[in-house]
A and B are shown apart, each in its own frame.
Chain A
Amino acid sequence: MRALLLRDLRLAVRSGGGFGLGLAFFFLLSVLVPLGVGPEGGTLGRIAPGILWVGALLACLLSLDRIFALDFEDGSLDLLATAPIPLEAVVALKALAHWLVTGLPLTLLAPGLGVLLNLPPAGYGWLVLSLLLGTPALSVIGAFGAALVVGLRRGGLLLSLLVLPLYVPTLIFGAEVVRRGAEGTALATPLALLAGISLGATALLPFAAAAALRVNLR
Protein backbone atom coordinates (compact mmCIF):
# COMPACT_ATOMS: atom_id res chain seq x y z
CA MET A 1 0.00 0.00 0.00
CA ARG A 2 2.86 2.34 0.74
CA ALA A 3 4.07 1.66 -2.78
CA LEU A 4 0.86 3.10 -4.24
CA LEU A 5 1.12 6.25 -2.13
CA LEU A 6 4.79 6.70 -3.03
CA ARG A 7 4.07 6.14 -6.71
CA ASP A 8 1.31 8.76 -6.75
CA LEU A 9 3.51 11.28 -4.94
CA ARG A 10 6.39 10.56 -7.29
CA LEU A 11 4.17 10.96 -10.35
CA ALA A 12 2.81 14.23 -8.97
CA VAL A 13 6.23 15.85 -8.56
CA ARG A 14 7.68 14.60 -11.84
CA SER A 15 7.20 16.58 -15.01
CA GLY A 16 3.59 16.90 -16.09
CA GLY A 17 2.34 15.72 -12.71
CA GLY A 18 0.41 18.91 -12.04
CA PHE A 19 1.79 19.37 -8.53
CA GLY A 20 2.13 23.15 -8.69
CA LEU A 21 -1.11 23.84 -10.55
CA GLY A 22 -3.44 24.21 -7.57
CA LEU A 23 -0.85 26.11 -5.57
CA ALA A 24 -0.22 28.54 -8.42
CA PHE A 25 -3.96 29.11 -8.82
CA PHE A 26 -4.38 29.78 -5.10
CA PHE A 27 -1.45 32.16 -5.15
CA LEU A 28 -2.67 34.07 -8.21
CA LEU A 29 -6.18 34.42 -6.83
CA SER A 30 -4.91 35.81 -3.55
CA VAL A 31 -2.62 38.25 -5.34
CA LEU A 32 -5.30 39.46 -7.76
CA VAL A 33 -8.23 39.86 -5.36
CA PRO A 34 -6.63 42.76 -3.37
CA LEU A 35 -5.89 44.51 -6.67
CA GLY A 36 -9.50 44.09 -7.74
CA VAL A 37 -11.15 44.98 -4.43
CA GLY A 38 -8.89 47.87 -3.49
CA PRO A 39 -7.25 48.62 -0.15
CA GLU A 40 -9.58 50.99 1.64
CA GLY A 41 -12.21 50.60 4.37
CA GLY A 42 -11.18 47.25 5.78
CA THR A 43 -13.30 45.47 3.13
CA LEU A 44 -10.44 43.21 2.27
CA GLY A 45 -9.90 41.99 5.82
CA ARG A 46 -13.63 41.23 6.14
CA ILE A 47 -13.81 39.12 2.99
CA ALA A 48 -10.39 37.50 3.45
CA PRO A 49 -11.66 34.29 5.17
CA GLY A 50 -14.18 33.67 2.40
CA ILE A 51 -11.70 34.44 -0.39
CA LEU A 52 -9.04 32.17 1.08
CA TRP A 53 -11.46 29.30 1.51
CA VAL A 54 -13.00 29.70 -1.95
CA GLY A 55 -9.47 29.85 -3.39
CA ALA A 56 -8.40 26.68 -1.60
CA LEU A 57 -11.56 24.89 -2.71
CA LEU A 58 -11.18 25.83 -6.37
CA ALA A 59 -7.48 24.97 -6.28
CA CYS A 60 -8.44 21.50 -5.03
CA LEU A 61 -11.06 21.17 -7.73
CA LEU A 62 -8.50 21.87 -10.47
CA SER A 63 -6.60 18.63 -9.99
CA LEU A 64 -9.48 16.29 -9.12
CA ASP A 65 -10.02 14.67 -12.48
CA ARG A 66 -6.42 13.47 -12.49
CA ILE A 67 -7.02 11.24 -9.48
CA PHE A 68 -8.42 8.34 -11.51
CA ALA A 69 -8.57 9.51 -15.13
CA LEU A 70 -4.83 9.04 -15.80
CA ASP A 71 -4.81 5.56 -14.28
CA PHE A 72 -7.92 4.69 -16.27
CA GLU A 73 -6.40 5.82 -19.56
CA ASP A 74 -3.17 3.85 -19.27
CA GLY A 75 -4.90 0.73 -17.97
CA SER A 76 -3.44 0.85 -14.44
CA LEU A 77 -6.88 1.11 -12.88
CA ASP A 78 -7.96 -2.25 -14.34
CA LEU A 79 -4.78 -3.76 -12.99
CA LEU A 80 -5.19 -2.12 -9.58
CA ALA A 81 -8.76 -3.43 -9.43
CA THR A 82 -7.43 -6.98 -9.91
CA ALA A 83 -4.49 -6.43 -7.52
CA PRO A 84 -4.48 -7.83 -3.99
CA ILE A 85 -5.23 -4.49 -2.32
CA PRO A 86 -8.93 -3.69 -1.85
CA LEU A 87 -10.28 -0.98 -4.13
CA GLU A 88 -11.49 0.95 -1.09
CA ALA A 89 -7.88 1.22 0.08
CA VAL A 90 -6.82 2.32 -3.41
CA VAL A 91 -9.37 5.14 -3.25
CA ALA A 92 -8.34 6.15 0.26
CA LEU A 93 -4.64 6.16 -0.67
CA LYS A 94 -5.24 8.15 -3.82
CA ALA A 95 -7.30 10.69 -1.88
CA LEU A 96 -4.48 10.88 0.68
CA ALA A 97 -1.92 11.40 -2.08
CA HIS A 98 -4.13 14.13 -3.55
CA TRP A 99 -4.34 15.82 -0.15
CA LEU A 100 -0.58 15.61 0.35
CA VAL A 101 0.11 17.36 -2.96
CA THR A 102 -2.74 19.93 -2.82
CA GLY A 103 -4.51 20.30 0.54
CA LEU A 104 -1.43 20.25 2.73
CA PRO A 105 0.66 22.71 0.65
CA LEU A 106 -2.39 24.99 0.38
CA THR A 107 -2.71 24.94 4.15
CA LEU A 108 0.95 25.83 4.59
CA LEU A 109 0.79 28.58 1.95
CA ALA A 110 -2.44 30.16 3.25
CA PRO A 111 -1.00 32.26 6.14
CA GLY A 112 1.37 33.99 3.74
CA LEU A 113 -1.51 34.83 1.43
CA GLY A 114 -3.56 35.95 4.44
CA VAL A 115 -1.09 38.84 4.76
CA LEU A 116 -1.84 39.92 1.18
CA LEU A 117 -5.56 39.87 1.98
CA ASN A 118 -5.13 41.84 5.21
CA LEU A 119 -6.54 39.05 7.37
CA PRO A 120 -6.84 40.23 11.02
CA PRO A 121 -3.97 38.82 13.15
CA ALA A 122 -6.27 36.72 15.34
CA GLY A 123 -7.40 34.75 12.29
CA TYR A 124 -4.12 33.14 11.19
CA GLY A 125 -4.10 30.22 13.58
CA TRP A 126 -7.72 29.44 12.83
CA LEU A 127 -7.09 29.73 9.09
CA VAL A 128 -4.42 27.05 9.26
CA LEU A 129 -6.46 24.86 11.60
CA SER A 130 -9.64 25.12 9.53
CA LEU A 131 -7.81 24.27 6.30
CA LEU A 132 -6.01 21.41 8.01
CA LEU A 133 -9.36 20.01 9.17
CA GLY A 134 -11.34 20.84 6.04
CA THR A 135 -9.08 20.08 3.07
CA PRO A 136 -9.07 16.30 3.68
CA ALA A 137 -12.84 16.40 3.11
CA LEU A 138 -12.24 18.23 -0.18
CA SER A 139 -9.84 15.51 -1.36
CA VAL A 140 -12.06 12.60 -0.30
CA ILE A 141 -15.26 14.09 -1.73
CA GLY A 142 -13.30 14.92 -4.87
CA ALA A 143 -12.02 11.35 -5.16
CA PHE A 144 -15.61 10.15 -4.93
CA GLY A 145 -16.65 12.55 -7.71
CA ALA A 146 -13.66 11.49 -9.82
CA ALA A 147 -14.64 7.84 -9.36
CA LEU A 148 -18.16 8.62 -10.59
CA VAL A 149 -16.99 10.22 -13.84
CA VAL A 150 -13.99 7.98 -14.57
CA GLY A 151 -14.15 6.71 -18.13
CA LEU A 152 -16.04 9.72 -19.42
CA ARG A 153 -14.21 11.78 -22.01
CA ARG A 154 -13.84 15.35 -20.76
CA GLY A 155 -15.47 14.43 -17.49
CA GLY A 156 -14.03 17.53 -15.84
CA LEU A 157 -17.11 19.72 -16.27
CA LEU A 158 -19.48 17.06 -15.00
CA LEU A 159 -17.10 16.42 -12.12
CA SER A 160 -17.16 20.09 -11.09
CA LEU A 161 -20.96 20.17 -11.22
CA LEU A 162 -21.22 17.01 -9.14
CA VAL A 163 -18.64 17.94 -6.57
CA LEU A 164 -19.32 21.64 -5.99
CA PRO A 165 -22.64 21.15 -4.13
CA LEU A 166 -20.93 18.57 -1.92
CA TYR A 167 -18.18 21.08 -1.18
CA VAL A 168 -20.62 23.74 0.04
CA PRO A 169 -20.90 22.64 3.71
CA THR A 170 -17.12 22.41 4.02
CA LEU A 171 -16.77 25.90 2.54
CA ILE A 172 -19.44 27.43 4.80
CA PHE A 173 -18.11 26.00 8.04
CA GLY A 174 -14.46 26.44 7.07
CA ALA A 175 -14.87 30.11 6.24
CA GLU A 176 -17.06 30.60 9.31
CA VAL A 177 -14.31 29.27 11.58
CA VAL A 178 -11.83 31.77 10.16
CA ARG A 179 -14.31 34.66 10.25
CA ARG A 180 -15.22 34.05 13.87
CA GLY A 181 -11.59 33.42 14.73
CA ALA A 182 -10.62 36.76 13.19
CA GLU A 183 -13.40 38.50 15.16
CA GLY A 184 -12.54 36.65 18.32
CA THR A 185 -16.03 35.16 18.86
CA ALA A 186 -16.94 31.60 19.85
CA LEU A 187 -16.23 29.12 17.05
CA ALA A 188 -16.54 25.69 18.62
CA THR A 189 -19.70 24.81 16.65
CA PRO A 190 -18.45 25.43 13.08
CA LEU A 191 -15.10 23.88 14.00
CA ALA A 192 -16.78 20.70 15.27
CA LEU A 193 -19.00 20.55 12.19
CA LEU A 194 -16.01 21.01 9.89
CA ALA A 195 -14.12 18.21 11.61
CA GLY A 196 -17.27 16.09 11.52
CA ILE A 197 -17.62 16.53 7.76
CA SER A 198 -13.99 15.52 7.21
CA LEU A 199 -14.20 12.47 9.44
CA GLY A 200 -17.55 11.36 8.05
CA ALA A 201 -16.42 11.78 4.45
CA THR A 202 -13.16 9.94 5.10
CA ALA A 203 -14.98 7.07 6.78
CA LEU A 204 -17.75 6.57 4.23
CA LEU A 205 -16.81 7.89 0.81
CA PRO A 206 -13.96 5.46 -0.02
CA PHE A 207 -16.57 2.70 -0.01
CA ALA A 208 -18.94 4.68 -2.24
CA ALA A 209 -16.10 5.62 -4.57
CA ALA A 210 -14.89 2.01 -4.83
CA ALA A 211 -18.43 0.91 -5.70
CA ALA A 212 -18.61 3.61 -8.39
CA LEU A 213 -15.24 2.50 -9.79
CA ARG A 214 -16.34 -1.13 -9.99
CA VAL A 215 -19.41 -0.12 -11.99
CA ASN A 216 -17.39 2.12 -14.28
CA LEU A 217 -14.76 -0.56 -14.97
CA ARG A 218 -17.31 -3.08 -16.24
Chain B
Amino acid sequence: MEIRVDNLAVARGGVTFLQGVSFQVAPGQALILRGPNGAGKTTLLRTLAGLQPPVAGTILLAPEAAAYGAHADGLKSTLTVRENLAFWAAIHGTDTVDSAMMGMDVASLANRRAAALSAGQKRRLGLARLLVTGRPVWLLDEPTVSLDAASVALFAGVVRQHLRGGGVAIVATHVDLGLPEAAVLELAPFRVRAMVRDGFDEAFA
Protein backbone atom coordinates (compact mmCIF):
# COMPACT_ATOMS: atom_id res chain seq x y z
CA MET B 1 0.00 0.00 0.00
CA GLU B 2 1.95 2.98 -1.24
CA ILE B 3 1.04 6.46 -0.12
CA ARG B 4 1.78 9.46 -2.28
CA VAL B 5 1.06 12.99 -1.14
CA ASP B 6 1.57 15.78 -3.61
CA ASN B 7 1.68 19.50 -2.91
CA LEU B 8 -0.82 19.17 -0.09
CA ALA B 9 -2.18 22.15 1.83
CA VAL B 10 -4.21 21.63 4.99
CA ALA B 11 -6.29 24.02 7.06
CA ARG B 12 -7.91 24.00 10.47
CA GLY B 13 -10.71 26.42 11.31
CA GLY B 14 -10.28 28.26 8.01
CA VAL B 15 -6.56 28.92 8.61
CA THR B 16 -4.11 27.19 6.28
CA PHE B 17 -1.28 25.73 8.36
CA LEU B 18 0.81 23.78 5.93
CA GLN B 19 1.25 23.99 2.20
CA GLY B 20 3.37 22.31 -0.41
CA VAL B 21 3.70 19.09 1.60
CA SER B 22 4.85 16.25 -0.63
CA PHE B 23 6.09 12.84 0.39
CA GLN B 24 5.93 9.20 -0.50
CA VAL B 25 5.82 6.18 1.73
CA ALA B 26 6.35 2.73 0.30
CA PRO B 27 4.92 -0.48 1.82
CA GLY B 28 6.92 -1.58 4.82
CA GLN B 29 8.11 1.94 5.58
CA ALA B 30 7.43 4.29 8.44
CA LEU B 31 7.39 8.06 8.27
CA ILE B 32 7.83 10.21 11.33
CA LEU B 33 6.35 13.69 11.28
CA ARG B 34 8.18 16.23 13.36
CA GLY B 35 7.39 19.81 14.13
CA PRO B 36 6.74 22.11 17.07
CA ASN B 37 3.36 22.26 18.80
CA GLY B 38 0.77 23.79 16.51
CA ALA B 39 2.76 22.99 13.38
CA GLY B 40 -0.21 21.12 11.91
CA LYS B 41 0.76 17.50 12.56
CA THR B 42 -2.70 16.54 13.78
CA THR B 43 -4.40 18.45 10.98
CA LEU B 44 -2.22 16.69 8.42
CA LEU B 45 -3.05 13.28 9.89
CA ARG B 46 -6.79 14.06 10.02
CA THR B 47 -6.65 15.10 6.38
CA LEU B 48 -4.86 11.88 5.45
CA ALA B 49 -7.48 9.90 7.40
CA GLY B 50 -10.22 11.54 5.31
CA LEU B 51 -11.80 13.37 8.23
CA GLN B 52 -11.35 16.72 6.51
CA PRO B 53 -10.78 17.71 2.90
CA PRO B 54 -7.42 19.10 1.77
CA VAL B 55 -7.27 22.77 0.79
CA ALA B 56 -5.11 21.91 -2.20
CA GLY B 57 -3.03 19.07 -3.52
CA THR B 58 -3.66 15.36 -3.89
CA ILE B 59 -3.52 12.38 -1.54
CA LEU B 60 -3.11 8.95 -3.04
CA LEU B 61 -4.49 6.89 -0.16
CA ALA B 62 -7.89 5.28 0.12
CA PRO B 63 -9.49 6.42 3.40
CA GLU B 64 -10.70 2.85 3.99
CA ALA B 65 -7.08 1.67 4.07
CA ALA B 66 -6.17 3.92 6.98
CA ALA B 67 -6.58 3.37 10.69
CA TYR B 68 -6.43 6.63 12.58
CA GLY B 69 -5.02 6.66 16.11
CA ALA B 70 -5.94 10.01 17.62
CA HIS B 71 -5.11 11.75 20.91
CA ALA B 72 -8.36 10.34 22.28
CA ASP B 73 -8.50 6.57 22.31
CA GLY B 74 -12.22 6.17 21.64
CA LEU B 75 -12.72 3.95 24.67
CA LYS B 76 -15.95 3.53 26.61
CA SER B 77 -15.21 3.63 30.30
CA THR B 78 -18.14 1.39 31.29
CA LEU B 79 -17.11 -1.38 28.88
CA THR B 80 -14.36 -3.85 29.70
CA VAL B 81 -11.09 -4.02 27.81
CA ARG B 82 -12.31 -7.02 25.84
CA GLU B 83 -15.69 -5.44 25.05
CA ASN B 84 -14.01 -2.27 23.80
CA LEU B 85 -11.76 -4.21 21.46
CA ALA B 86 -14.48 -6.64 20.39
CA PHE B 87 -16.65 -3.70 19.36
CA TRP B 88 -13.99 -2.23 17.07
CA ALA B 89 -13.17 -5.69 15.72
CA ALA B 90 -16.85 -6.24 14.84
CA ILE B 91 -17.06 -2.81 13.20
CA HIS B 92 -14.03 -3.63 11.07
CA GLY B 93 -15.10 -7.22 10.47
CA THR B 94 -12.04 -8.85 12.01
CA ASP B 95 -11.60 -11.34 14.86
CA THR B 96 -8.13 -10.63 16.15
CA VAL B 97 -9.11 -9.42 19.61
CA ASP B 98 -6.99 -11.95 21.48
CA SER B 99 -3.84 -11.47 19.47
CA ALA B 100 -4.28 -7.69 19.72
CA MET B 101 -4.56 -7.96 23.51
CA MET B 102 -1.42 -10.08 23.57
CA GLY B 103 0.37 -7.68 21.23
CA MET B 104 -0.12 -4.62 23.42
CA ASP B 105 0.09 -6.59 26.67
CA VAL B 106 -3.44 -5.87 27.92
CA ALA B 107 -4.57 -9.51 27.99
CA SER B 108 -4.28 -9.64 31.78
CA LEU B 109 -6.70 -6.70 32.00
CA ALA B 110 -9.29 -8.26 29.66
CA ASN B 111 -12.18 -8.18 32.10
CA ARG B 112 -11.41 -4.88 33.74
CA ARG B 113 -13.55 -1.86 32.92
CA ALA B 114 -11.74 0.82 30.94
CA ALA B 115 -12.59 3.33 33.69
CA ALA B 116 -10.35 1.39 36.07
CA LEU B 117 -7.29 1.52 33.81
CA SER B 118 -4.35 3.85 34.29
CA ALA B 119 -3.55 6.42 31.60
CA GLY B 120 -0.78 4.25 30.19
CA GLN B 121 -2.97 1.14 30.16
CA LYS B 122 -5.71 3.06 28.35
CA ARG B 123 -3.16 4.15 25.81
CA ARG B 124 -2.03 0.55 25.29
CA LEU B 125 -5.66 -0.46 24.80
CA GLY B 126 -6.11 2.40 22.32
CA LEU B 127 -3.11 1.14 20.37
CA ALA B 128 -4.38 -2.44 20.51
CA ARG B 129 -7.43 -1.08 18.67
CA LEU B 130 -5.14 -0.42 15.67
CA LEU B 131 -4.36 -4.12 15.54
CA VAL B 132 -8.02 -5.17 15.39
CA THR B 133 -8.80 -2.78 12.52
CA GLY B 134 -6.70 -4.95 10.22
CA ARG B 135 -5.94 -1.90 8.09
CA PRO B 136 -2.58 -1.53 6.31
CA VAL B 137 -1.95 2.17 6.97
CA TRP B 138 -1.60 3.48 10.50
CA LEU B 139 -1.89 7.21 11.08
CA LEU B 140 -0.73 7.82 14.62
CA ASP B 141 -0.93 11.04 16.56
CA GLU B 142 1.47 11.08 19.52
CA PRO B 143 1.02 7.35 20.16
CA THR B 144 3.44 7.16 23.06
CA VAL B 145 1.87 9.80 25.33
CA SER B 146 1.75 8.44 28.90
CA LEU B 147 3.54 5.21 27.98
CA ASP B 148 6.52 4.09 30.06
CA ALA B 149 9.82 3.11 28.45
CA ALA B 150 8.95 -0.60 28.37
CA SER B 151 5.62 0.10 26.67
CA VAL B 152 7.25 2.40 24.11
CA ALA B 153 9.63 -0.44 23.24
CA LEU B 154 6.68 -2.87 23.08
CA PHE B 155 4.84 -0.49 20.78
CA ALA B 156 7.91 -0.04 18.56
CA GLY B 157 8.01 -3.82 18.21
CA VAL B 158 4.32 -3.88 17.21
CA VAL B 159 4.89 -1.15 14.62
CA ARG B 160 7.94 -2.98 13.26
CA GLN B 161 5.92 -6.19 12.91
CA HIS B 162 3.20 -4.23 11.12
CA LEU B 163 5.80 -2.84 8.71
CA ARG B 164 7.24 -6.30 8.11
CA GLY B 165 3.80 -7.40 6.99
CA GLY B 166 3.83 -4.73 4.27
CA GLY B 167 2.03 -2.13 6.35
CA VAL B 168 2.72 1.57 6.55
CA ALA B 169 2.89 3.87 9.58
CA ILE B 170 2.86 7.64 9.63
CA VAL B 171 3.60 8.82 13.13
CA ALA B 172 3.54 12.30 14.59
CA THR B 173 5.74 12.29 17.65
CA HIS B 174 8.22 14.27 19.71
CA VAL B 175 9.89 11.31 21.39
CA ASP B 176 12.29 8.77 19.98
CA LEU B 177 10.21 5.74 19.05
CA GLY B 178 13.22 3.47 18.62
CA LEU B 179 12.60 3.08 14.89
CA PRO B 180 15.93 4.22 13.43
CA GLU B 181 14.98 2.93 9.99
CA ALA B 182 12.00 5.28 9.71
CA ALA B 183 12.16 8.32 7.46
CA VAL B 184 11.64 11.69 9.13
CA LEU B 185 9.65 14.56 7.65
CA GLU B 186 10.28 17.91 9.24
CA LEU B 187 7.10 19.99 8.90
CA ALA B 188 8.58 23.39 9.77
CA PRO B 189 9.60 24.29 6.16
CA PHE B 190 6.00 23.77 4.99
CA ARG B 191 4.47 26.13 7.50
CA VAL B 192 2.54 29.04 6.11
CA ARG B 193 4.45 32.09 7.27
CA ALA B 194 1.68 34.64 7.83
CA MET B 195 -1.35 33.08 9.43
CA VAL B 196 -3.93 34.82 7.23
CA ARG B 197 -7.44 33.61 6.58
CA ASP B 198 -7.50 32.05 3.16
CA GLY B 199 -9.84 34.47 1.44
CA PHE B 200 -12.94 32.86 2.89
CA ASP B 201 -14.84 35.09 5.23
CA GLU B 202 -17.81 33.25 6.63
CA ALA B 203 -19.69 36.47 7.43
CA PHE B 204 -19.65 37.56 3.79
CA ALA B 205 -19.72 34.21 2.05
Give the residues from 95 to 109 in chain A that come closer than 8 angstroms, CB to CB, to chain B: none
Interface pair B50/A82, CB less than 8 Å apart: yes
- Chain A residues lying within 8 Å of B70, measured Cβ to Cβ, are 75, 78-79
**Number of A-B residue pairs having CB atoms within 8 Å of each other in the complex:** 70
Given A3-B90, A17-B78: A74 and B51 within 8 A (CB)? no
B73 near A75 with CB under 8 A, answer: yes
A82 and B69 CA atoms in complex are apart in Å by: 11
Determine which residue in B46, B51, B52 has the highest number of CB atoms from chain A within 10 A of its CB, and name it.
Answer: B51
CB-CB < 8 A to B88: which residues of A?
A: 79, 83
**A residues in contact with B68, CB < 8 Å:** 78-79, 82
Interface of A is mostly: helix
The answer to whether B52 and A218 have CB atoms under 8 Å apart is yes
Verify A78–B51 contact, CB threshold 8 A: yes
- Cβ–Cβ < 8 Å partners of B31 in chain A: none
**Contact partners of B75 in chain A: CB under 8 A:** 74, 76
Chain A positions 1-50 with a Cβ under 8 Å from a chain B Cβ: 2-4, 7, 10-11, 14-17
Is B91's CB within 8 Å of the partner chain A? yes
A81 interface residue, CB < 8 Å from B?
yes
B residues 113-146 near A (Cβ < 8 Å) are: 129
Binding site for B on A (CB under 8 A): 2-4, 7, 10-11, 14-17, 73-76, 78-85, 217-218
A-B complex: 9 closest residue pairs judged by Cβ atoms = A75-B72, A3-B90, A76-B74, A218-B52, A14-B78, A75-B74, A79-B74, A83-B91, A7-B87
Hey, which bits of chain B sit against chain A, CB under 8 A? 46, 49-53, 63-64, 66-68, 70-79, 83, 86-88, 90-93, 129
Can you name 16 extra interface pairs (CB under 8 A) apart from A11-B76, A79-B129? Answer: A4-B87, A7-B76, A7-B87, A10-B83, A11-B78, A15-B78, A74-B73, A78-B49, A78-B51, A78-B72, A79-B70, A82-B63, A82-B68, A84-B64, A84-B92, A217-B51
